[in-house]
Homo-oligomer: A and B are copies of this chain.
Amino acid sequence: MSKQSALADAFRQTVYKVPGHGDLVVQNLRSVLEQIDGDLESDRYGSGKIIEDFQDKMAAYLGKEKAVFLPSGTMAQQIALRIWCDQRGVAKVAYHPLAHLEIHEQDALRELHHIEPVLLADKDSLIRLKDVENMPEDVSCLLLELPQREIGGQLPSYEELEAISQYCRERGIKLHMDGARLFEITPYYGRSAAEISSLFDSVYVSFYKGIGGIAGAILAGDADFVETSKIWKRRHGGDLISLYPYILTADYYFQQRVDKMQQYHEDAKSLAGLYNDCHRITTRPVEPVSNMFHVHIDVPKEQLEPLLIQCYAETGIGLTSYLVEAGESSCAYEVSVGDRYALLPKERLTGALQWLDQKLKES
């Protein structure tokens, strides 16, 4: 079994955990299957009612002609970028320095697809219209991640997004959305997923972030694009004989949670407010635009870790299971608000943060 840190252990033992929907356990799949007719036929290599119905449903939800279900977002986005590069005949794309493709995929875009990325904007900032205006005009595709996860989940204004979209359209540059957290930003923009997606040529969405499924992704676009993406799905080794464990759970939890995104956003704003009232703590962004944000605490990791462990033991409230070092003497962690927050006794949460505030004030 993988080793757990002391902080993860302490977090695990708390009565109330603040982030997320719940533990990642087998029960999440089991409780979905208990509601499904056992005679329901498996999908087969991309065909069959389970997968076709879900693809149609998500294409409609995203306002695109077609959609394909893929095992992962990593696969979905490489495929999208490859198709747009092949179409324009230029193996060059643009994205943020902290894009998933750049930092979490072992250089796959270069190693598998021989595509060269152009990095836009400073790593601590959003991609702005001026960055787009200054990028080489021969890029085949610009990828925008909404919200930009690695900087706490930030968003440009909708007007700026429209301007970027228009700029790209006028120059024949395809615009692809890393919409891993698209569902989560619809309340902030006050627009439907389809409306936001209409600014993009291709859209990837994930089912294990705000939706809380087990794994899996949808890639949507026009019919030709999706047809070609199925060829690449096969090439990547993603055209499994059966994807139904992921599809059935994605569909189930989508229905359960997609209408709760407004609530998660409100809860994230409340929680960030509580954090920002503490000494030495700031959230990024200060006011979340989705269900997620980053917590920055101006204390070195080796000091903060025992403090949090003590906090969890005394209050029964689990704030985070991990810390990363951020700068010389501070640390950070990500918070995604989900179903757990509503079940949390708020006075106990407030108590835990007051306990922490007091310790941070003294230290």
List A residues 1-58 near B (Cβ within 8 Å).
Answer: 1-2, 23-31, 33-34, 36-42, 44, 47-49, 52
A108-B235, A108-B236, A215-B241 known; A25 vs B39 contact (CB < 8 Å): yes
| Contact between A24 and B106, CB atoms less than 8 A apart | no
Residues in B with CB closer than 8 Å to A30 are 30, 33-34, 36, 38
Residues in B with CB closer than 8 Å to A52 are 1-2
Residue among A31, A208, A245 with most chain B CB within 10 A = A245
Residues in B with CB closer than 8 Å to A215 are 240-243
Residue among A76, A78, A240 with most chain B CB within 10 A = A240
**A interface with B by C-beta (< 8 Å):** 1-2, 23-31, 33-34, 36-42, 44, 47-49, 52, 70-76, 78, 104-108, 111-114, 208, 214-215, 231-232, 234-246, 248
Further contacts, 14 of them, CB under 8 A, given A24-B41, A208-B242, A245-B246: A26-B248, A29-B244, A33-B33, A72-B237, A72-B239, A74-B239, A75-B238, A106-B232, A108-B235, A108-B236, A108-B237, A214-B241, A214-B245, A236-B236
Q: How far is the CA of A37 from the CA of B42 in the complex (A)?
A: 24
Q: How many copies of the shown chain assemble into the complex?
A: 2
- Of the candidates B33, B234, B237, which one forms a contact with A70 in the assembled complex, judged by CB atoms under 8 Å apart? B237
Q: How far is the CA of A75 from the CA of B71 in the complex (A)?
A: 12
* Chain B, Cβ-Cβ closest to A111: B235
- Of the candidates B41, B104, B242, which one forms a contact with A214 in the assembled complex, judged by CB atoms under 8 Å apart? B242
CB distance from A289 to the nearest CB of B (A): 24
- Of the candidates B23, B208, B237, B245, which one forms a contact with A238 in the assembled complex, judged by CB atoms under 8 Å apart? B237
| Contact between B244 and A26, CB atoms less than 8 A apart | yes
Q: How far is the CA of A26 from the CA of B36 in the complex (A)?
A: 8
CB distance from A56 to the nearest CB of B (A): 11
| Contact between A24 and B242, CB atoms less than 8 A apart | yes
Residues in B with CB closer than 8 Å to A27 are 38-39
| Contact between B106 and A75, CB atoms less than 8 A apart | no
6 closest pairs, A vs B, by CB?
Answer: A75-B237, A27-B38, A245-B245, A108-B235, A74-B237, A24-B42
Residue among A33, A36, A105 with most chain B CB within 10 A = A33
Residues in B with CB closer than 8 Å to A42 are 24-26, 28, 214
Q: How far is the CA of A215 from the CA of B241 in the complex (A)?
A: 6
| Contact between B235 and A106, CB atoms less than 8 A apart | yes
Q: How far is the CA of A114 from the CA of B75 in the complex (A)?
A: 18
Q: How far is the CA of A55 from the CA of B47 in the complex (A)?
A: 30
